[in-house]
Structure 1
C-alpha cells in the first residue's frame, strides 16, 4: 500500500525516521554535491549549520569529519581555534569517479564490442589480483573467469588510471573484443546474470522509486523553501549514489527488458532540476568564502543533461 504524505516536510521527516542515514555518508553527499561546486572548503561551524536540517548534531559532525579525515576523504586546516575542512586529492578523485556515474545518463548505444582485461600469470601476486578485482568491480566490470574481467562500455581513461595506480599496466592485457557468432556457443551478453548481480541492483532501484516518486508531486504542489530544496536534493543524491555505485551501467541490449534503472534516473533528474536553484541559494548563504552567485563549472551545469544556474 502506497504511503500518503501531507507535505514535503512530512516526506522528509518520514525519510529520516525510516532510512536513518548515517551522518558520515550524509556529509560525503553534502560535500560532493553542494560544497565542492561552490567552495574549496568549509569551516566546521558552517558544516555544522548545513547538517542541522538532517538532525545531525555538532558532536556527530565532529566525529564523522574526523573519520573522513582518517579515511583520506578530507583534510583539516587549523586557523587559531577554528578548523577548516577541504577535500584531499584522493577525495577529489573519489568524487569525480562517483559523481560521474550519478549525473550522467545510462549508456544506450553500443557497438557490440567488449573491453577485456586479463592478468598475466607471471609477476602478479594474490594481493595485487585482489586489489585489481576490487577496483574493476567498482568500475562495473564483471569477472567471466579467474583473472579475466569484461565490460561493454568501459571508461578507458578511468581504466588507465586504475592500472597506473596499481602499477599493473605492464602486467595486464587490455583488449577490445567481439563475439564470433559462428563459433561462440554463448554470447558474452548471456553471461550478464552470472557476471553481475542485476537482480539485487534492480531491487534497489525499485526501492528508490518507491521512496522518491511521491516527492516529485509534493515538490510541484507548492513552492519549496531553499532549505527544503537543499534537504531533498541531498537525500536524493545520498540515496541515488548508494544504488548507482552498485550499477555496472550496462547498455540496454545487455539488460533485462524491464530494467528500472532508467526510470530511477529520470525521477532523480526531475527532482534535481527542480531543487538545484533553491539548494544552491541555501548553501551560498552558509559558506563565508562564496559570493552571492558563484561561477559554477561546466561539469556542474551539465549534471543530469544540463540546466541553468540560479
Structure 2
C-alpha cells in the first residue's frame, strides 16, 4: 500500500468525508487527535496535516466551546462529487452510451494551465488519445464539466459527446489510451491488503466498533482513488483478466460490514449526532 495514499491529511479527509459531514461537519481538535491516534497518527502529525488542509481551503477553524475545525463550504461540492464517483455505480459503462471527448489548446504563455488540465483530466479518469485530446465514457460528462468550471479551466477546453465510428480495433486502441497494467496493480494491492480482513469477517462475523474504524478509514482512503484511475470502461474493451470486478466486490462487502460500526465509533468519541433529513430520519 502506498504511504502517500495513507498520509495523515488523506486520512483526515476520509474522516470528514465519510463521517463528519453526517455529523454537522465540525470536530474538536482533541477528538480528531483521538480518532487519528487510533489510526496510528500522532498528535503533531495531525496538527501539521490540519494546517496544510486549512491552507488549501479544505478546513476552517471554528470554536464551539473548544477549538475545532469545520469542513469548508467551498469543498462540499467536491465531496459530493466524490460520493457519486466512489459509492455510485461500480458497473462498467455501456458501450452504446458513447464517449465524452475533451479537447484543449493552451497558449504557451499560459502553459501552467495545460499541466492543470492534464492533471485534472487524468484524475477524472480520462485517457489520452493524442496531444490535447482526451476521452472518457460518456457518463463522466457532468463530472468533467463541473470540475473544469470549478477550477476555472473551462475557457481552455471543449467537451464533446461522441460515438466511435472507425477505423482501428477499439479494444486495442483503448489499451494504449489508458495504462491498464498500472490500474490493475492498484486493484491488486487493494485486494492483497483487504482480502484477509474480509476473510476474518467471514470467520468471526463481527468486529467491535473501534476495530471496524481502524480498518475502514484506511480501506476507504486507499479505495477512493481507484474509481478515478479506472473510469469504468465498457467490459467489451477490457482485458480478459481484468481484476477490478473482484476488487469492487471486496470493497462493497467490507463497506457493508464496516461503515455502520465505524460511524458509531466516531459518534461515541465525539458525542455528535447525525443530522436529520427532510423526513426527520438520520442521514
TM-score category (smaller protein): 0.7 to 0.9
Q: Is the 8 A contact 1:110 1:153 kept in 2?
A: no
- Per the alignment, in what secondary structure is the counterpart of residue 22 of structure 2? coil
What is the aligned counterpart of 1:29 among 14, 28, 33? 14
Query: What are the superposed Cα offsets for residues 59-104 of structure 1, whole Å, 9 maximum, x if unpaired?
Result: 2221211111112221112457x32211113432332333322212
CA 1:153–1:131: 2 relative to 1, 3 Å? same
Residue 161, structure 1, aligned to residue 146, structure 2: yes
What is the aligned counterpart of 1:136 among 118, 121, 130? 121
Aligned position for 2:72 = 88
Deviation at 1:268, TM superposition (A): 0.7
Aligned position for 2:191 = 209
- Per the alignment, in what secondary structure is the counterpart of residue 35 of structure 2? helix
- Per the alignment, in what secondary structure is the counterpart of residue 23 of structure 2? coil
- Per the alignment, in what secondary structure is the counterpart of residue 257 of structure 1? coil
Deviation at 1:296, TM superposition (A): 6.7
Deviation at 1:211, TM superposition (A): 1.3
Aligned position for 2:173 = 191
Partner Cα distance (1:216, 1:149) in 2: 37
Deviation at 1:153, TM superposition (A): 3.2
Q: Is the 8 A contact 2:216 2:262 kept in 1?
A: yes
CA 1:278–1:122: 2 relative to 1, 3 Å? closer
Q: Is the 8 A contact 1:119 1:147 kept in 2?
A: yes
CA 1:121–1:75: 2 relative to 1, 3 Å? closer
What is the aligned-residue RMSD (CA, Å)? 3.0
Larger helix share, 1 or 2: 2
Alignment length, in residue pairs?
A: 279
Q: Is the 8 A contact 2:93 2:232 kept in 1?
A: no
Deviation at 1:197, TM superposition (A): 1.2
TM-score, normalising length from structure 2? 0.86
User: Gaps (5+ residues) in structure 2?
Assistant: none
